[in-house]
Amino acid sequence: MLPDTPEDAAHWLRAAFARSDVHYDPPAEEGLSDRPLRPAAVLVPVVLRQEGPSILLTRRTEHLHHHPGQISFPGGRVEPHDPDVCATALRETHEEIGLAAERIEVLGRLPDYRTGTGFCVSPVVGLVHPPFVLTPDSFEVAEVFEVPLAFLLDPAHHQQAQLEVRGGLRSYHTIPYGNYFIWGATAGMLVSLYRFLSR
């Protein structure tokens, strides 16, 4: 499915996001509350490696109040001074892992992902052009790692699980990878990326 070289992969992804006629059903998270959702944005960083494109992910530190220890994309809440969600994703990425916006080529957005924890997350997809140096914020980020995009786009690796929340069962996506367990909103947005690119 994926082209062999970084140049061809970049061209393929640019062409995919340049199309305006792609329609698909994005994953939805169950258990949404009636309260207004808080806007947030994340960067879905596609790193152009010689051995094939990969997705850069972080593992959150264990002491954080929201989603401790979980695998996530760099990102966070939209601030009043952010001109748009793209600016939020780039700002949060720089703050969390030190990746400069100059190394990121924004391709476009996936549909917003609404979470049971009260956020409406805008996934911004961008190509990351090596070389780059990362300086993770040790308070928020325990680890930064990459997963081959080909692995994440293989539906054989997409699983469903259930969790009991407030007396009810909530279904969610999971994508296990080695010692990493990607689940929840992050896995849901990766499934959304798969559905977008497979169309």
| pLDDT tens by residue, 118-169 | 889 999 999 999 999 999 999 989 999 999 999 999 999 999 887 766 666 6
Are the beta carbons of 158 and 166 closer than 8 angstroms?
no
* Rounded Cα–Cα distance for residues 16 and 114 (Å): 24
Joined tokens for residue 41: 């944005």
Quick one: pLDDT band at residue 66, thresholds 50, 70, 90? low
Query: pLDDT confidence of 20, banded at 50, 70, 90?
Result: confident
In order of 5, 60, 74, 85, 152, the CA distances from 38 in angstroms are 39, 20, 17, 12, 28
Q: Write out the two tokens for 154.
A: 């293989």
What pLDDT is recorded for position 133? Answer: 93
Contact 22, 199 (CB under 8 A): yes
Which pLDDT score, from 0 to 100, does residue 181 have? 95
Residue 170, pLDDT score? 74
Q: What is the pTM of this model?
A: 0.92
